[in-house]
Amino acid sequence: MQPTRELADALFREQVEASRAMTVEQRIVAGMNLFELACRVTADGIRHQFPEADEAEVSRMLAERLALARRLEERP
């Protein structure tokens, strides 16, 4: 079952309304949680791509990817 455009729009509106109801502190915590989730997903992807990598190597590659993302965001 594919979601309809209307359903996707309704879900997005709900997310926006929930975000608007949050305090600044709640938004900061939510942002930190999203960043941690993104790091875990990225680390899992690295482990899948490089199954022989140990945790130190996975951490190094994750740090490299984060640094690359920062450089790309800073580009004009």
pLDDT tens string 38-74: 999 999 999 999 999 999 999 999 999 999 999 999 9
pLDDT tens-place string over residues 13-45: 999 999 999 999 999 999 999 999 999 999 999
Q: Terminus-to-terminus CA distance in the chain, angstroms?
A: 41
Q: Is 76 a residue whose pLDDT tops 90?
A: no
DSSP 55-72: HHHHHHHHHHHHHHHHHH
The predicted structure's pLDDT at residue 1: 61
Domain spans of the chain, in order of start: 23-74
Is the pLDDT at 2 greater than 80? The verdict is no
Entry pTM: 0.76
